[in-house]
Chain A
Amino acid sequence: QKEVEQDPGPLSVPEGAIVSLNCTYSNSAFQYFMWYRQYSRKGPELLMYTYSSGNKEDGRFTAQVDKSSKYISLFIRDSQPSDSATYLCAIDAGGTSYGKLTFGQGTILTVHP
């Protein structure tokens, strides 16, 4: 079993739709949770970063963490064609393992006009 499992998609949605992206993890030591967006031929770009259970909102993006269920989600409201990219969840145990990110496999999202 992989330490982080991400719904592989791909996802194709119409413009304006609400998008839900999800990851589950198995290691309860994980403390920090990130979502990155990666456009083709570019590096991962940080979207959201959180370290506690609950919701964190930034514009059209909401990150949700449920540590008891070991489940994280990213919601995108009013999706735009410019949101078309690969979305990666990443998890960090922190402490002496800081920076040793465990990534999901990525979900390819296409938002069509």
Chain B
Amino acid sequence: DAEITQSPRHKITETGRQVTLACHQTWNHNNMFWYRQDLGHGLRLIHYSYGVQDTNKGEVSDGYSVSRSNTEDLPLTLESAASSQTSVYFCASSPDRVSPLHFGNGTRLTVT
């Protein structure tokens, strides 16, 4: 079955380290998104991509970057991890710009 997979499921890292979270979808969807979920803030958009080589900043993009070199993957990189980036990160995808987003099961990141 087609699906969206995030890895790792859990990650602990230290302040200042670079971290990359993986997102892989097998639906051949054009659009991919990264959200973070925090108590008191709900889900907020970090970065998104409408296709290969396209990337855009979301509401809370500072300290994060993405690249889209193929349809299946949108890795999220934290350039220098900060404690404020401790969160649960969700990747989502959709086939076109009128369909709803489908989410992965998340990566729980702790920055110590």
Contact = CB atoms under 8 A, between A and B. Distances in A.
A81 interface: no
Contacts of A106: 42
A32 B106 contact: no
Contact of A100 (B58, B90, B98, B103): B58
Interface residues of B, number: 22
Contact of A99 (B43, B48, B104, B105): B48
Nearest to B58: A100
B106 A101 contact: no
Interface string B86-103: 000010101001101111
Given A43-B105, A44-B90, A44-B103, A98 B97 contact: yes
Contact of A94 (B43, B59, B98): B98
Contact of B106 (A34, A42, A90): A42
B43 A103 contact: yes
The SS class assigned to the B binding surface is: strand
B101 A43 contact: no
A101 B45 contact: yes
27 contacts: A32-B98, A34-B100, A34-B101, A36-B103, A41-B105, A42-B105, A42-B106, A43-B103, A43-B105, A44-B90, A44-B103, A45-B103, A46-B103, A49-B100, A88-B42, A90-B43, A98-B97, A99-B45, A99-B48, A99-B92, A99-B97, A100-B45, A100-B58, A101-B35, A101-B43, A103-B42, A106-B42
> What 7 A-B pairs are tightest by C-beta distance, nearest first?
A43-B103, A98-B97, A49-B100, A43-B105, A103-B43, A103-B42, A44-B103
